[in-house]
Structure 1
């Protein structure tokens, strides 16, 4: 008898403990109760729902406390206790219509009920180029927040959304300064080009009257008008504008005569020499330009030689000893 009792006791020890029984609530468009075991997998829960509600398991997506539940995981893996609530979303796709009165269009989108409103906005941006942060999505007379899930809106095939386009007046533009560096400016779409130039003057010390701002459209350079607003010049968020600016400098001849010039920093030595030939008698083959002891070659720009306001450029004879010294200095 003692031997048998010992065997029975050993058998009882080998048996796995009974799983804890739980009662959980599954929320869809309605809430219903399931009696399950904590060791049940998400796949088994879906199977029970399929038997009760007739919803295909492949179209069920479950979430608990914001976490997407995987089929192979158990309820215990998510620390689900009795009386917990699990969210169920049915992921069958639907087609919706999106009306955009501001552009006079209605577009069709194929979406999933599990998609967020932000996903719909991203589709609209891709198709119509309307930035996400400029869209207000309306449905059934109310505004939808970006984190809303479409299934929460009780959507059906053919339902219509309404998009209000509300452009943000904040505008970030990048200014490429002579190909040398780039400035980042926080502006408003209603700023004029003159306002932007004043911002550049405050940052870089370049007088507004010396600045030329332009943008490239379809490979064509378009100079921006000072009196026009950025939005009227079709400048968009994160666009890059090119800045050219002019400087005032002096040119001193071998005779001691001084000429005054105003040129863009992108102008080359050749362009300056061509202008000089129209002002004084000069034979280009016999002379060269020099700035700060360095030869300003025909292809060199004022920007490359860092010519500043009120600088002096000299005209030198090529057969002078100074030319030889400067050439050696350059090397």
Structure 2
């Protein structure tokens, strides 16, 4: 038993020491009018750390890209703290609308998160986006790190229009009715749905869409797609009330 125990001890690898450098200080030649973004560019040129991965602090204050060193009273021999994050900046190409946008993201974000940012910046609904990278379609639940994306890479967005729409109808400014419709429904179809759900005669309904130049009345024979109605759009509904006035033996109808 003792011999076996000694053999086990002899088989263990020897211990040794390594050195791990935890802090590195870099001296930069700067001017008080330099912006924080320019400082990040200098660091990127020297250390190869992308600007989107850099977070700078001075005296506990987070330094904003557009501000100057003088704004933070950073003077000669001041020490600025640098934290490296998993951030990156990627380009997003959307051929269907002729746009290329820049997004500041983290590798720990999901593809669904990217779609959400694209929707906020460009207005393309999440469910109409197909993200492509390296000739492959990216799945919503995948992290950007799992897709092989890194700083400076480009994503491509294919816009796949869906025929399902959720729209809101503001009835005379008093209440809102939500409808699930199809893009190929006509305006007359929508009016019939409103009549079914709300009891308002289709013939008395005027559906309008507000635009920068004013309100536009929608034509009954046009489809929602042709009228450029998008998901989550709101339409205004006014009622055309018929009024009958009795003048003795003559009855007149006023619109």
Query: What TM-score comes out, normalization by structure 1 length?
Result: 0.48
Per-residue deviation at 1:102?
Answer: 0.8
* Counterpart check, 1:188 vs 2:182: yes
Bigger Cα Rg: 1
Kept in 2, the 8 Å contact 1:99–1:107? The answer is: yes
Per-residue deviation at 1:187?
Answer: 0.7
Cα deviations by residue, 1:60-83 (Å, 9 ceiling, x for unpaired): xxxxxxxxxxxxxxxxxxxxxxxx
Cα deviations by residue, 1:116-163 (Å, 9 ceiling, x for unpaired): 112222222222221222211111122112221111122233222111
Look up the SS of the partner of 2:158 in the other structure: strand
Partner residue in 2 for 1:261: 253
* Counterpart check, 1:225 vs 2:219: yes
1:1-331 alignment runs, 5 A limit: 51=20, 91-218=85-212, 220-253=214-247, 256-263=248-255
Partner residue in 2 for 1:38: none
Look up the SS of the partner of 2:115 in the other structure: helix
Note the residue ranges of structure 1 that are not aligned, 5 or more in a row: 1-49, 53-58, 60-89, 264-331
In 2, Cα distance between the equivalents of 1:97 and 1:259? Answer: 69
In 2, Cα distance between the equivalents of 1:135 and 1:261? Answer: 51
Q: With a CA cutoff of 8 Å and minimum separation of 6, indicate the structure with the bigger relative contact order.
A: 2
Note the residue ranges of structure 2 that are not aligned, 5 or more in a row: 1-18, 22-52, 54-83
Look up the SS of the partner of 1:110 in the other structure: strand
In 2, Cα distance between the equivalents of 1:133 and 1:149? Answer: 18
Look up the SS of the partner of 2:130 in the other structure: strand
How many correspondences in the alignment?
Answer: 178
Query: What TM-score comes out, normalization by structure 2 length?
Result: 0.61
